[in-house]
Structure formats: structure tokens, C-alpha cells
């Protein structure tokens, strides 16, 4: 492996050279959203400057160019996650919309009264509420896999929840709060043995791990562009073609139709059946550059950089007296939720912000998980490709000073 | 002292901080620490003003037509903000409380504690003072 081009990477992200409250920005809120490289920002601007047009229906040159660029993103994503066909790649506004698309559509034809759905205690609200909504409307039962005090899924408990009524399992790959990497491969295998549909929330995994939906063999994999150096407002649902074919549309409108009359409408083919209305063209095009950016560095190189950063941060945090890390799974990424003995996380977040350090505080949209750990929130540090050990040193140093006040 | 006079004093006190964020936070925590102890028994749901990330408790007594407030927060910075509001509103009549516009916020660099960010609940705190005033009118 070549030397990791950290300096070049940092130079590629214009925001990283900005000053926050008179300090150099230290951006540790990557699990909420990552920063964007110049290539992404420029490509969005280039679209609006040079070939803005609505896609798929236009016959003029600009529409052709916009359609081509848009569809190139779809092909690139297909290859990036190892899908079989671009028919399996549906654009959404983000992971949340993706999960809502899957749940609403499946609620219309597959999930019937008495059926059971399994999620886990560590799910983001986005992977709880959509299932609760259809559980209420369709009279389904929602079952929840237990999480250990270290923040790991209890596989035996999962197995014990499966009955002949279990129709679907929806699980987060990497927890946004704990950083735990779940054994999704194992879970998916069990699902397919029992003919259960598997949905993987890939919001936190797609920028940090090599993803191959074929080897995972999941039925659905959902993620967002903005957590992988791309723009906000774009997400992807991967779904196996044979299931997507059977699923009814999520929304009605333009693009998703073949023919419309007042007596009957026939729907378009995949993936367009699920893409009603004018999509977020400029940002989908920007997303292409984000994928290229990740591929240029190499996901394996990113992974090894982030693993060494994680180990460095873990060691440093463990050396601080009066700090408790929430989520100590053996297999985890560089996400550290923590509380301190004497400083409330809200004060901590503001005081660190005054030092130029951006991190997240609160319940991280995982309130049931917080209840489980008897907390109302934590401070959370989350690492990405451009973070450095110097930044971790500065953070730890600032944190120790604040805790000594 | 009128609410205007108190607000002017606060604006004057904050001037030395030159809107430096770190100094402002430290100052808020200092004035929060100086608040009178708050009875644990008063930390009830009725007295709770729930922000997204911090808790505030506010209670009051009515003496001679004027309202006297006391309160606490589980976070130091919010407690500092609360102490400013208590300083402004305590000892005022319900009418005066309801008629007060909190202009000091914009003149002290504290604007980031109100408005679009839900996390701190300065606005929720102000509302709680005014609801108490309204119910004692």
C-alpha cells in the first residue's frame, strides 16, 4: 500500500482550512454528515452552470447530457456496491426516505396482519418509526433484538425471536451512536434460511467499509450520499430485482408511469417505478464525484487509515480519568460516544466548539438505546478520511482542560 | 429596577467579553454557579422546561403583586442563561414581565442560543416565564 495521502486529502476539502471561533476547524461530526471535496462541489456547480435540464424526457442536447451524467451515477453506484443491475439502484432523498419506501411498499402487498418484523435496540429512529407506522396500520408485531452492555447484538436472542410469522428483519450495519459493526452477514444468512426479507441500514457503513450486496446477500441495502462525502438530499435503495419487481410504487407522479388515463395507469419499469417526480439531478451528479473520490483513494486504504485513527483515539480516551465510553464492542469503527463525570455533554459540546472542535451531543436519534443505557444523551466523536492524530491530540488536550475546570 | 435597566446592565457586563464565544461561555457558567441553591424537591415535572439537550426547572412565588423566580438547570451554560432571565424578570409585576422584550440577547452575542437551534431552549425558558406571568395576572 502506498503512503496514505492525508495532506492531499485535507487540501481537497475547502472547509477544513476554515477558522471556527478563531481556531482551526477540527471536524469530528462525520457520523452526522461528512464534509465535501472540491470535486463534488464543483460538479454540482458545473451542472447548474453548463447543462441544467430535466432528465429522461427531453430530446434536446442539454437534457441528453444531464440524463447521461445522472445515469452514470447509477452505474457507478451499481459497481460500487456490487449490485447486479442498475434496475436495482433507486435514488431517494436519503436513508430515511429509503426505509420509508421499503416499509410503505411492502406494507401494501407483503406484510399482513399477524406478521412479525424484527429490528434491534440500537436502531436509529429512521429504522424504528417507519416499521412502527406500518405495524400500527397493518396490525403487525414489532420485535426488538437485545443489545449487550458493550453494545453488541445478541445473536441468540435474535434467533429466539424468529417464528414462522417473521417476515422481515431490518438492522443497522454500523451503529451511529455506538460505532458497533454488526454481524450482518450472519444475520442475513439466518434470514435467507427462514425466507425472511433482510433490510440493512447502511447509512454509517458505506463510506467506511467495502460493501458488496451480492456477497452480503441482503434483500435491501439503504444509504445516504451525504455521509460519504457527497451532497445532502440524495440516497440510494438497493433492492433485489425479483422483489422490487413485485413491489407497488411508493409515490405516484411523473417519471414512474408508462401510460396514464383516468381509468387506469400502468407503471414504468425498474428503477423508475420508484422515482416519481423530478429527482435531485444536480446532487445525484455530485454524488458520482464522491464515489469516484472514495474509489480513487481506495476503500481499503480508507479503512486502514480509519482503523489506526480509531485505535489512537480509543487509547487516548481510555487514558482520561472520569470519562466513560458508551459502546465498547470488539468490532467497531471510529465512533465514540462518551460521557464525563463532571461536565454535562451539552456544556462539553459548546465549550469544545469554542475551541473549534465540532462534535455531536444529544441522543443521536437513538432514544430507545439511550434509555437502555440509562442516559439522556452523550457527546459523540466520529472520524473520517481527513482526520489526523494531531486533531485527536488537540481534542483530548482540550477535553482534559475542560474537565479540570 | 425595571426590566430595561437590568437588560442594559447585562449588556454593559457582557461588553468586556467582546462577543468572544469561549469567554461568553465561561462567563455564563460563572454566573450560573453563583445562583442560589434550588430545592431538589422543586425539580418536578410541573416546574420542568424541557429543551432538547438540557433541563431547566423554574418555580415562583407571588409577593405583593410581584413574581419572584427561582430555578436550576442540569447544564452549566443553560444555568447561566437562566440566571440572566431570573435577574431580569424576578421582582416584576405580571404586566411588566409580559411587556418585556428581551433585546439583550441580540446585544450580547447570545443570539445563537435562540431561534433555529432547538438544543438549548432559551426561547422555551422565556415562554415559561411569560406563561407564569400570564397565569398570575
Grid coordinates given for B95: 404586566
Question: Is the predicted pLDDT of residue A238 greater than 90, yes or no?
Answer: yes
pLDDT of residue B123: 83
Cis ω before A271 (30° cut-off from 0) = yes
pLDDT of residue A236: 98
A interface with B, Cβ–Cβ < 8 A, is 21-22, 343-347, 349-351, 353-355, 361-362, 377, 405
Span A246-280, pLDDT tens digits? 999 999 988 888 999 999 889 999 999 999 999 99
Which is it for strands A378-382 and A335-340: parallel, antiparallel or unpaired?
A: antiparallel
Query: What does the pLDDT average to over B107-121?
Result: 69
Confidence of residue B114 (pLDDT cuts 50, 70, 90): low
A296-321: average pLDDT: 97
For residue A403, the distance in angstroms to the closest alpha carbon of chain B comes to 13
Residues contacting residue A293 through CB under 8 Å, at least 6 positions apart: A12, A37, A39, A40, A229
Taking alpha carbons only, the member of A361, A38, A390 closest to residue A229 is A38
Domains of chain A, CATH where assigned: 6-30+298-404 (3.90.1150.10), 42-295 (3.40.640.10)
Average pLDDT over residues A305-324: 97
The pLDDT value recorded for residue B113 is: 73
**What is the rounded distance in angstroms from the CA atom of residue A176 to the CA atom of residue B3?**
45
Q: Which of A270, A115, A109, A102 is nearest to A201 (CA)?
A: A102
Q: Which residues of B touch A354 (CB under 8 A)?
A: 21-22, 25
Q: Look at residue B52 in the predicted model and tell me its pLDDT.
A: 62
User: A230 pLDDT exceeds 90?
Assistant: yes
Tell me if A127 sits within 8 A of A170, measured CB to CB: yes
pLDDT tens figures, A350-387: 999 999 999 999 999 999 999 999 999 999 999 999 99
**Residue B52 among the catalytic residues:** yes
B25, B78, B120 member nearest A351 (Cβ)? B25
Which cell numbers in the block locate residue A286?
455530485
For A220, the grid coordinates are 435491501
At A88 the three-state DSSP class reads helix
Closest chain B C-alpha to A374 CA, distance in angstroms: 15
Asked if A346 and B22 come within 8 Å (Cβ–Cβ), the reply is no
Do the chains contact at A21 and B53, CB–CB below 8 Å? Answer: no
Q: What pLDDT does residue A382 have? A: 98
Whether the CB-CB separation of A267 and A108 falls below 8 Å is answered with no
Cβ distance A361 to B53 less than 8 Å, yes or no, reads yes
What digits encode the pLDDT tens for the residues A195-207?
A: 999 999 999 999 9
Nearest to A21 among B21, B76, B119 (CB): B21
How many pairs of residues across A and B have Cβ atoms under 8 Å apart?
A: 38
Q: What is the pLDDT of residue B44?
A: 94
Domains along chain B with CATH numbers = 3-135 (3.90.1010.10)
Contact A102, A286 (CB under 8 A): no
Closest C-alpha to A150, from A368, A367, A324, A384: A324
Nearest C-alpha of chain A: how many angstroms from B137?
35
Identify the bridge partners of residue A223 per DSSP, sorted by sequence position: A236
Q: What rounded mean pLDDT belongs to chain B?
A: 90
- The answer to whether the CB of A70 falls within 8 A of the CB of A281 is yes
How high is the pLDDT of residue A9?
Answer: 98
- Go through A202-218 and write b for each residue having 16 or more CB atoms within 10 A of its CB, e for each that does not: bbbbbbbbebebeebeb
CA nearest to B9, candidates B84, B113, B94: B84
The total number of residues shown for chain A amounts to: 405
What whole-number distance in Å separates Cα of residue A261 and Cα of residue A265? 6
Cβ of A347 and B74 within 8 Å? Answer: no
pLDDT for position A228: 98
What are the distances in angstroms from CA A16 to CA A32, A298, A351, A361, B76? Answer: 16, 21, 20, 21, 30
Mean pLDDT of A282-295: 98
By annotation, the residues of A acting in catalysis are 365
pLDDT at A57 over 60: yes
Amino acid at each position: 500500500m502506498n503512503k496514505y495521502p492525508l495532506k492531499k486529502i485535507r487540501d481537497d476539502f475547502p472547509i477544513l482550512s476554515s477558522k471556527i471561533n478563531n481556531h482551526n476547524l477540527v471536524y469530528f461530526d462525520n457520523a452526522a454528515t461528512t464534509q465535501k471535496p472540491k470535486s463534488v462541489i464543483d460538479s454540482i456547480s458545473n451542472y447548474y452552470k453548463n447543462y441544467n435540464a430535466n432528465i429522461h424526457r427531453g430530446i434536446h442536447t442539454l437534457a441528453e447530457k444531464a440524463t447521461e451524467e445522472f445515469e452514470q451515477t447509477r452505474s457507478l453506484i451499481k459497481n460500487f456496491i456490487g449490485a447486479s443491475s442498475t434496475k436495482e439502484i433507486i435514488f431517494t432523498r436519503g436513508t430515511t426516505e429509503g426505509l420509508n419506501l421499503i416499509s410503505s411498499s411492502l406494507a401494501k402487498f407483503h406484510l399482513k396482519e399477524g406478521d412479525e418484523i424484527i429490528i434491534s435496540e440500537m436502531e436509529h429512529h429512521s429504522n424504528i418509526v417507519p416499521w412502527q407506522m406500518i405495524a400500527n396500520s397493518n396490525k403487525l408485531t414489532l420485535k426488538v433484538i437485545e443489545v449487550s452492555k458493550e453494545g453488541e447484538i445478541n445473536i441468540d436472542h435474535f434467533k429466539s425471536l424468529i417464528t414462522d410469522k417473521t417476515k422481515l428483519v431490518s438492522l443497522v450495519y454500523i451503529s451511529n451512536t455506538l460505532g458497533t459493526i454488526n454481524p450482518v452477514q450472519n444475520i442475513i444468512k439466518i434470514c435467507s434460511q427462514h425466507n425472511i426479507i433482510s433490510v440493512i441500514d447502511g447509512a454509517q457503513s458505506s463510506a467506511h467499509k467495502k460493501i458488496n450486496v451480492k456477497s452480503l446477500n441482503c434483500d435491501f441495502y439503504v444509504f445516504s450520499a451525504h455521509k460519504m462525502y457527497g451532497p445532502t438530499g440524495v440516497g440510494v435503495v438497493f433492492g433485489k430485482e425479483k422483489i422490487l419487481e413485485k413491489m407497488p410504487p411508493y409515490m405516484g407522479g411523473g417519471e414512474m408511469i408508462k401510460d396514464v388515463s383516468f381509468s387506469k395507469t400502468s407503471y414504468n419499469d425498474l428503477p423508475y417505478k420508484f422515482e416519481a417526480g423530478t429527482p435531485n439531478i444536480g446532487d445525484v451528479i455530485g454524488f458520482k464525484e464522491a464515489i469516484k473520490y472514495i474509489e480513487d483513494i481506495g476503500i481499503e486504504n480508507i479503512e486502514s487509515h480509519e482503523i489506526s485513527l480509531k485505535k489512537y483515539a480509543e487509547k487516548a480516551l481510555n487514558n482520561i480519568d472520569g470519562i466513560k465510553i458508551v459502546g465498547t464492542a470488539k468490532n467497531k469503527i471510529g465512533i465514540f460516544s462518551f460521557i464525563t463525570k463532571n461536565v454535562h455533554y451539552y456544556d462539553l459540546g459548546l465549550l469544545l466548539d469554542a475551541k473549534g472542535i465540532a462534535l455531536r451531543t444529544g441522543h443521536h436519534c437513538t432514544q430507545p438505546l439511550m434509555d437502555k443505557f440509562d442516559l439522556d444523551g452523550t457527546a459523540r466523536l466520529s472520524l473520517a478520511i481527513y482526520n489526523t492524530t494531531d486533531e485527536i491530540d488537540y481534542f483530548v488536550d482540550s477535553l482534559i482542560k475542560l474537565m479540570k475546570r | 429596577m425595571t426590566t430595561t435597566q437590568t437588560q442594559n446592565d447585562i449588556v454593559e457586563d457582557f461588553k468586556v467579553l467582546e462577543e468572544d464565544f469561549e469567554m461568553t461561555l465561561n462567563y455564563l457558567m460563572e454566573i450560573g454557579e453563583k445562583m442560589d441553591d434550588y430545592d431538589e424537591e422543586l425539580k418536578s415535572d410541573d416546574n420542568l422546561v424541557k429543551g432538547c439537550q438540557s433541563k431547566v426547572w423554574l418555580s415562583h412565588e407571588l409577593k405583593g403583586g410581584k413574581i419572584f423566580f427561582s430555578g436550576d438547570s442540569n447544564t452549566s451554560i443553560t444555568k447561566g442563561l437562566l440566571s440572566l432571565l431570573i435577574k431580569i424578570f424576578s421582582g416584576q409585576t405580571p404586566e411588566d414581565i409580559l411587556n418585556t422584550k428581551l433585546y439583550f440577547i441580540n446585544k450580547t452575542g447570545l443570539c445563537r442560543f435562540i431561534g433555529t437551534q432547538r438544543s438549548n431552549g432559551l426561547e422555551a425558558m422565556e415562554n415559561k416565564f411569560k406563561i407564569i406571568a400570564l397565569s398570575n395576572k
